[in-house]
Amino acid sequence: MTNGLPTAVRLMLACVLGALLVAPAAAADIRVGAADDHPKASPEIAGEFYEAMKDVGLTENRITLLWDSAHPMTIESQDNLAAAIQDAQADGVRITLDIYPSRAKALTESRVAPARFANFVALVARTFPTVKDFIVGNEPNKSRFWQPQFNANHTRAACAAYEPVLAASYDALKSVDRSITVIGVGLGPRGTDNPVARGNLSISPARCLADMGRVYRRSRRTKPIMDALSYHAYPNASTDKLETGYAWPNAGIPDLARVKQAVWDAFHRTGQPTFEEAGMPYGPARTLKLRLNEVGWQVAIPPASRGAYYGKESVVTTDEGTQAAIYGNLIPLLACDPAVESVLFFNLVDEANLDRWQSGLMRADWTRRPSYGIVKGAIVAGQTRCAGRRVAWRHEYRPVGVHLRRPLPRQAPGEGGADSAGADLALAADRAHAGRGPEVARQARRRLGQGDPVSAEAAEARVLRLRGEGGGGAEPRAQGDVRESPVRGRKPETLT
């Protein structure tokens, strides 16, 4: 350690700074920016904020806008928001607006609420015609932002209920300006899928997308519902390494193939585009893009800056040097994924409340972390353009292991848990017999193909009994790698 920085970080900084002297200017393949509401505070703070963005080389900022169902056509702090947008565009910073309800039940407690929300989204687009990027919603797979997550019968509710809201908002935004990019979901990276969990009612990203796909298909809609997917690629813990990732069916930066496969499972052969695939010259003319609109590793606050904070830290944090190394590495990593359009750090400047987020390039007193210089160096060195091997993703016809064919229980389209038990059969079998060989797969198909539709838990329990175990299965292999399907001679199964 020297001057508080690990040796690995000092070496990375030296390499990046050296590259600044020789690297030619290069157009960025991905945009690097921030997700930060500081510019809404005042014109003075906005000016300082955008100067810092320009110094680092950040070109996009995501700003949130809350919808109040009690005042459905009122734009909160409209003058401050207008000034923040105008200042950003004067400084060459692209603005993305994320619109979502101020209350978790605002879109589910009234039948007319989704239509009113879509009308509000259109109003915002008309009010700020220079903004061309809109995120609809924020982490509907988390109870903090969407309730209920589950129905009274313990089937999933939230993401199925969110899909019509996204569809209506898509139509409303496109009616204002066809060139607007509608960005869906703002999907959280993890979920418990446990309807009786205490304090953490949430749905995993794979199952959230599956529920959205089922509702989309049943609606018989032929138009898309989003032009890009917003994903919040946080680590499971801030002490995780960049390459650590998640256990399936959750997903972080190393697991983006799972997200792409989940989108394909949900929407292939529909009017909703899926992600670009390698080696498919006759693929769809339109493809979905991935926007990582929130990325961040929380760090401990050094003594010299603690006076700018209040409250008590609520998570285990990493150190500033490790954060800098991770941020420096993730830029060239993501630049080589053709599906990724942008990556935004949450935040540029820390929130002062220690119970909130301290993952920015700057501390709450606006002093610079090591990550500030590392990210700046990576951008100036042209690391936003892929210099290595590009990610080559192809879909699989069956999610991880065996995709079972069997009748699915029919429920009303309005029910959030529609077909969740039947569709989860394959997912349960995947977890239970991943890597266990073809004989277990055949037994799983035979046993699970008998009798009436069963719950995901019962399906998994059956497969576990085949193995003589009573606990959870091993984590499946990451989705998206190309291999021969274990079930031959069958057409792909859809989520209808």
Banded model confidence at residue 284, pLDDT cuts 50, 70, 90: low
Written as six digits, the tokens of 127 are: 């009010």
Backbone angles phi, psi at 266, to 5 degrees: -75, -35
What is the overall mean pLDDT for the chain? 81
Question: Interior CA angle at 150 toward 146 and 153, to 5°?
Answer: 155
182-236 pLDDT, tens digit each? 999 999 999 999 999 988 899 999 999 999 999 999 999 999 999 999 999 999 9
Assign 282 a pLDDT band (cuts: 50, 70, 90): low
What SS3 class is residue 432? helix
Structural domain boundaries of the chain? 20-380, 397-496
Class of domain 20-380: alpha beta
E strands, 113-172, are 133-136
224-273: pLDDT as tens digits = 999 999 999 999 999 999 999 999 899 999 999 999 999 999 999 999 99
Cβ within 8 Å of residue 299, ≥6 positions away: 238, 317, 318, 319, 320, 322, 323, 358, 359, 369
3-class DSSP assignment, residue 88: helix
> Is 80 exceeded by the pLDDT of residue 440?
no
Nearest-10 Cα torsion for 294, 229, 99, 147: -90
pLDDT digits (tens, 9 = 90+) for 355-413: 999 999 999 999 999 999 999 999 999 999 999 999 999 998 765 433 333 333 333 33
Output the pLDDT for position 441: 41
Mean pLDDT over residues 128-151, rounded? 98
Per residue in 162-175, pLDDT (tens digit) is 999 999 999 999 99
Q: What's the DSSP call for residue 318?
A: B
